[in-house]
């Protein structure tokens, strides 16, 4: 899919075993209350590392974004979610409803400072989007814009009991794709896959109604998390914050991939794996003991070596704790000594 632009991550050349971390903590709400000068002292902010970004692309280039209707890419579409239509009733006030995914996309883009307009539907599979052919790219309708954003819902996993109470660790997985129309053709400039977590649920009701509610909430959370990776243009405080970690291994990515899978599988009470995709070399998981947090890990082959990059997201009202070093330490210890 091309090489990622890592200029915003690396402070210089790194050697095996050396970890780079930049933390975006200056804007944490509690910290601001405790020490208003913290922001002034924060010298760096962590930019999330997407699965793919064109090396020549910058968010400063982006004008009005044409938004295609959200695609339902789930293998199992039996459980309803609100995409283009409005979501289920909130149950708190008359005529108040959860927002459908399309509306959430537009609202989030506006919140972070991007203009958008509605586009015609896109016909696509996940393969079309992740590895677009020139023929497929030429069929895309950008309307009057040079920028097209396509969102796909890959999975929604919500489990309700027979009493109608939701599993508070449900989740949704979404993919986002940003395309640019240029005089010489269309290119994909940005792509990522993100998990949205259903972290808290006190609702009780009919199983089907509750599944629709919780599935919509988890999907909306995933959309907010995904678009939180866009460069922030608004003067408002970002809702989603990030830490960025990088670990280098002398072993190849195949070996490191297997050991990371083993490490996550060996601790089912701590980690919940949401996505393991060997084709994209991406892992999405979250820690059962941490709220509003999700880990996004991407593997970058470096010849016979491997660079593992992780972006951890958390909301501005959440506590940030460190566990990445422990996980990578377990992976490193399980690899053959070289």
Please give the full DSSP string across 68-112, using - where no structure is assigned: PPPEE--S---S---SSS---B-SSSTT-BPPPHHHHHHHHHHHH
- Phi-psi category of 241—alpha, beta or left, where left has phi over 0 and alpha has psi -120 to 50? beta
Q: Give dist(CA 232, CA 112) in Å, integer.
A: 5
- Cα torsion angle, 272, 199, 31, 234, sign: positive
Strand, coil or helix: 1: coil
The pLDDT, as a whole number, for residue 120 is 95
Q: Confirm if 220 and 101 have CB atoms less than 8 A apart.
A: yes
User: Of 193, 185, 164, 155, whose CA–CA distance to 52 is shortest?
Assistant: 193
- Exposed, middle or buried: residue 55 (CB in 10 Å: 0-12, 13-18, 19+)? exposed
- Using 50, 70 and 90 to split pLDDT, how confident is the model at 161? low
The CA-atom distances, in angstroms, between 164 and each of 44, 83, 89, 171, 209 are: 45, 23, 16, 17, 9
Q: Is residue 140 pLDDT above 80, yes or no?
A: yes
Count of other CB atoms within 10 angstroms of residue 187 = 17
Q: Give dist(CA 265, CA 271) in Å, integer.
A: 8
Dihedral, 84, 228, 218, 80 alpha carbons, nearest 10 = 20
Q: Confirm if 167 and 159 have CB atoms less than 8 A apart.
A: yes
Helix axes 207-227, 101-112, angle to 10 degrees: 30
Q: For domain 59-227, which CATH number applies: 3.30.1330, 1.20.120, 3.40.50, 3.30.70?
A: 3.40.50
Q: Tell me: the pLDDT tens digits for 13-60?
A: 223 333 333 433 333 333 333 333 333 223 246 789 999 999 999 999
Q: Tell me: the pLDDT tens digits for 112-130?
A: 999 999 999 999 998 899 8
The pLDDT, as a whole number, for residue 294 is 78
Rounded to 5°, angle at Cα 215 from 209 and 220: 130
Q: Tell me: the pLDDT tens digits for 237-295?
A: 777 788 899 999 999 999 999 999 999 999 988 888 999 999 999 999 987 766 567 78
User: Of 242, 256, 254, 244, whose CA–CA distance to 16 is shortest?
Assistant: 256
Q: Is residue 103 pLDDT above 80, yes or no?
A: yes
Top CATH class, 20-45+239-334: alpha beta
Q: Give dist(CA 26, CA 36) in Å, integer.
A: 9
Q: Give dist(CA 322, CA 312) in Å, integer.
A: 10
The pLDDT, as a whole number, for residue 69 is 96
Query: Comparing 11 with 168, which gets the higher pLDDT?
Result: 168
State pTM to two decimals: 0.81
The pLDDT, as a whole number, for residue 28 is 33
Give the mean pLDDT of the chain.
79
76 phi and psi angles, rounded to 5 deg: -115, 110
User: Of 300, 240, 229, 286, whose CA–CA distance to 50 is shortest?
Assistant: 229
Domain edges within the chain: 20-45+239-334, 59-227
- Contacts by residues 294-298 (CB-CB < 8 Å, ≥ 24 positions apart): 294/194, 294/195, 294/196, 294/197, 294/225, 295/324, 296/48, 296/49, 296/192, 296/194, 296/195, 297/260, 298/4, 298/49, 298/51
């Amino acid at each position: 899919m091309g090489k990622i632009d890592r200029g915003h991550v690396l402070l210089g050349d790194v050697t095996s075993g050396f970890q780079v971390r930049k933390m975006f903590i200056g804007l944490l709400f509690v910290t601001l209350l405790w020490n208003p000068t913290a922001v002034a002292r924060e010298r760096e902010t962590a930019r999330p590392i997407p699965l793919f970004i064109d090396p020549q692309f910058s968010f400063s280039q982006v004008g009005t974004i044409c938004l295609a209707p959200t695609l339902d890419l789930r293998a199992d579409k039996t459980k309803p979610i609100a995409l283009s239509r409005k979501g289920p009733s909130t149950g708190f006030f008359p005529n108040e409803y959860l927002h459908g995914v399309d509306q959430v996309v537009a609202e989030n883009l506006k919140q972070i400072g991007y203009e958008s307009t509605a586009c015609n539907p896109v016909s696509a599979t996940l393969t079309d989007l992740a590895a677009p052919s020139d023929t497929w790219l030429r069929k895309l309708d950008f309307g009057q814009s040079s920028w097209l954003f396509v969102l796909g819902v890959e999975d929604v996993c919500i489990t309700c009991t027979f009493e109608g109470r939701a599993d508070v660790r449900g989740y949704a997985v979404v993919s986002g794709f940003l395309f640019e129309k240029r005089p010489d053709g269309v290119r994909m400039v940005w792509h990522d896959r993100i998990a949205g977590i259903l972290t808290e649920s006190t609702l009780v009701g009919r199983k089907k109604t509750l599944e629709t509610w919780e599935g919509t909430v988890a999907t909306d959370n995933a959309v907010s998390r995904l678009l939180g990776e866009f460069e922030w243009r608004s003067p408002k405080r970002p809702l989603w914050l990030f830490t960025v970690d990088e670990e280098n291994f002398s072993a190849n990515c195949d070996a490191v991939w297997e050991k990371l899978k083993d490490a996550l599988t060996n601790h089912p009470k701590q980690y919940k794996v949401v996505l393991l995709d060997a084709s994209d070399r991406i892992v999405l998981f979250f820690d059962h003991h941490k709220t509003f947090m999700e880990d996004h890990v991407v593997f970058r082959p470096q010849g016979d070596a491997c660079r593992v990059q992780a972006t951890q997201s958390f909301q501005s009202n959440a506590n940030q704790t460190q566990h990445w070093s422990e996980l990578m330490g377990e992976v490193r210890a399980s690899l053959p000594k070289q």
